[in-house]
Structure 1
Amino acid sequence: MKATITKNCMGDRNCNKLCPEVFEYDEDQLLSIVKYDVIPQHFEDIVRQAAAECGADAIIIEE
């Protein structure tokens, strides 16, 4: 599974709070970034939850 943050990111950091192991906030770009090219399997459910809860629909999941 892969996750991507689009330019729609509002920078509210909800994904960072939900799963800091996968998401990181870039202070220069003022948006979240994904730390992994491929999401480790044990984080997949929480990453799906972060995508579902993203108010800007900025997290794209590729299974």
Structure 2
Amino acid sequence: MKVIVDQNKCVASGQCVLATPEVFDQREEDGIVVLLTENPPEHLADDVRQAAVLCPAQAIWMEEQEKNE
């Protein structure tokens, strides 16, 4: 999974940080989303998806990557 954020859309609600603090943070000066890791570990995938759903600005989305077996 690759996580993408659009800082221009972000309204600094902080829902992403509450959902997945290992992946998202906020800038100190204005609260805009900061992506901490573009490719989070698999065990955080559901939390990242939840963060995207909770984002009121729809500033977070994911590109699912195929697993190599």
Moved over 4 A (4+): none
Identify the residue that residue 12 of structure 2 maps to in structure 1: 11
The letter of the residue matching 2:36 is K
> Which structure shows the bigger proportion of residues in strand conformation?
1
The CA RMSD over aligned residues, in Å, is 1.3
Normalised to the residue count of structure 2, the TM-score between the two structures is 0.81
Normalised to the residue count of structure 1, the TM-score between the two structures is 0.88
* Aligned residue runs from structure 1 range 26-45, under 5 A: 26-28=27-29, 30-45=31-46
The higher radius of gyration belongs to 2
Aligned-pair identity in percent equals: 37
Number of corresponding residues = 63
Q: Structure 1 regions of 5+ residues with no counterpart?
A: none
Structure 1 residue matching 2:33: 3-state secondary structure = strand
Q: Structure 2 regions of 5+ residues with no counterpart?
A: 65-69
